[in-house]
Amino acid sequence: MTGIIDPVSPGLPVGSDTGHLAILGYDPYKYYPGRGPFEALGAGIMLRPGDVAFRCNLATLSGETVIDRRAGRIGSEEAGKLVESLAEVAEIDGVEVILRHTVEHRCVLVLRGEVSDKVSDVDPHREGGRVEWPRPLDDSGVSRRTAETLRNLLLRYREILEKHPINLKRKAEGKPVANMALPRGAGKMPSLPSLTERYGVKAAVIAGGALYKGVCGSAGMEVVEAEGATGTLNTNLDSKFSKAFQTLKRLDMVFLHIKGTDTAAHDKDPVTKASFLEKIDSSFARHFEPPGDEFIVCVTGDHTTSSLTGEHRGDPVPVLIYGHGVRRDGVQRFNEVDAAGGAIGRIRGLDLMNILMDLANRTEKFGE
């Protein structure tokens, strides 16, 4: 059966973090702490209570103007080395600093000590804008000091980056240099009730991107590694699907995340998106191995990304649910338009887990 889902609510574009929280059953208005903490978890940083985590981009600045928020989508190898150099700054103004590279231009920054998460994004979220030096978001002394400390740290980072051999080489090659780190999404870790507590299922996540592992890990899901899962268009889909069906032999539920479609849409490249969807279809078909008669498959997304604007959009995403005891509608093609006429109708992200767990006979009746 098919339908459409508003990840949070109709017309609201959501991030991958809030979108994932919602489709996993966690109200993001209650549980969303900003992107930083999930990203940190996914990067393998064990967050302690009180730690403040930021998502960071390596970016290209000219003076104080952000020319490229992703430093020409710098590759993981070069970015990794740059971040390694920055990570040598282990302390500033008495605050402990942890910086870790994840994928491509992305890294995670954690401040540990007497720090606040009430500091503004440095990333201006658009190219051509001026870098926005951190400001405290409340009146407390600790927020003011955290903003100052962060600024000092970023100035120190810039110093290191400007003279780094990799950047000198990129400059010589005419490539955008990665001469700034742009933090955003400051937050402390919330505690999510686990899927096991909520539904009595043992679940795992298979994903390339750090964020998805972070969200799911904090929901008590086992993070299963699949070889070649990169979180980009060159990911090894066969490895992911194969690992997923293998994992279903010992656990109740696997959440498999595929990022490439989103990446292609961010790049305004619907042709690549379509051919990647075809790759997903055929890889799924090759590896599909039902874990017994009574199983449920659900295919959906955490948000729409428009190939027109290259940005997330508040349009609903299509959803398909297949399996034992699931209604069968007449929809013949799985896309956002046909699915809207299916037996599910239009639901919200927060409804999805309840529906899936009900179909899997995992929910308790309300009343008699």
Closer by beta carbon to its own copies, 14 or else 86: 14
Residue 127 sits in the site that holds its own copies (CB under 8 A): no
Q: At what angle do helices 210-218 and 35-42 cross, to 10 degrees?
A: 100
CA distances from 46 to 49, 218, 242 (A): 10, 11, 29
Shortest distance (Å) from residue 265 CB to its own copies:
12
Residue 272 sits in the site that holds its own copies (CB under 8 A): no
Closer by beta carbon to its own copies, 5 or else 177: 5
Count of positions on this chain that bind its own copies (CB under 8 A): 63
Residue 340: DSSP 8-state? G
Closer by beta carbon to its own copies, 101 or else 313: 313
Residues 238 and 356: their CA atoms lie apart, in Å, by: 25
- CB-based burial label for 288 (10 Å; 0-12, 13-18, 19+): exposed
Residue 255 sits in the site that holds its own copies (CB under 8 A): no
Tokens of 143: 């927020």
Residue 137 sits in the site that holds its own copies (CB under 8 A): no
Neighbours of 245 (CB within 10 A): 16
Contacts of residue 50, defined as CB under 8 A and 6 or more positions apart, other chains included, come to 112, 115, 188
Shortest distance (Å) from residue 220 CB to its own copies:
20
Neighbours of 106 (CB within 10 A): 23
Residue 351 sits in the site that holds its own copies (CB under 8 A): yes
Closer by beta carbon to its own copies, 93 or else 132: 132
Binders of its own copies in range 45-64 (CB under 8 A): 55
Residues 332 and 351: their CA atoms lie apart, in Å, by: 24
3-state secondary structure of 27: coil
The interface region with its own copies, picked from 44-52, 136-144, 175-183, 311-319 by CB under 8 A, is 311-319
Binders of its own copies in range 167-196 (CB under 8 A): 184-185
Order of strands, edge to edge, in the sheet holding 253-256? 222-223, 203-206, 253-256
Q: Quick one: which of 23, 28, 195, 219 contacts its own copies (CB under 8 A)?
A: 28
Q: Quick one: which of 17, 104, 117, 262 contacts its own copies (CB under 8 A)?
A: 17
3-state secondary structure of 145: helix
Q: Quick one: which of 1, 99, 216, 219 contacts its own copies (CB under 8 A)?
A: 1
Q: Quick one: which of 30, 126, 333, 365 contacts its own copies (CB under 8 A)?
A: 365
The interface region with its own copies, picked from 41-49, 149-157, 269-277, 343-351 by CB under 8 A, is 343-351
Residue 27 sits in the site that holds its own copies (CB under 8 A): no
3-state secondary structure of 346: strand
Side-chain half-sphere CA neighbours of 354 within 13 A: 12
- Residues in contact with its own copies by the rule CB under 8 A: 1, 4, 8-19, 28, 32, 34-35, 55, 184-185, 306, 308-309, 311-316, 324-325, 327-330, 336-337, 340-348, 351-359, 361, 363-368
